Structure 1
Amino acid sequence: MEFIVGILHLVLIIWALLKIFGSGASTGAKILWALGVIIFPIIGFIIWFFVGPK
């Protein structure tokens, strides 16, 4: 079960990073969002999902 949760978490982080770097935001904003998602995996992902660059 932990393996499945870990894989799901990894997939969500990779998806978020792809969406962040594919967005129209400035380079600085992209880097800050990516660092937020990487350093604070769960909270960063949730915040990015609701208020991140679209």
Structure 2
Amino acid sequence: MSNNLQQAPTHIKLAVDLIMLLEQHDVAPDEVLKALEIVKSDFEKKQSNKLAL
């Protein structure tokens, strides 16, 4: 990991890691986008539930 990336915010590092993982597994872009919609929805629900507590 480059020095700039090591100093990047956690969400940037996570995005880079996810991109690398998906590219290494040669996942089709349309499948990635469909999966990301599901992941986003799941984490939005988790965030809502956490805020409701």
The bucket for the TM-score relative to the shorter chain is 0.3 to 0.5
TM-score normalised by structure 1 residue count: 0.41
Compare CA radii of gyration and give the structure with the larger one. 2
> Relative contact order (C-alpha < 8 Å, sep 6+): which is higher?
1
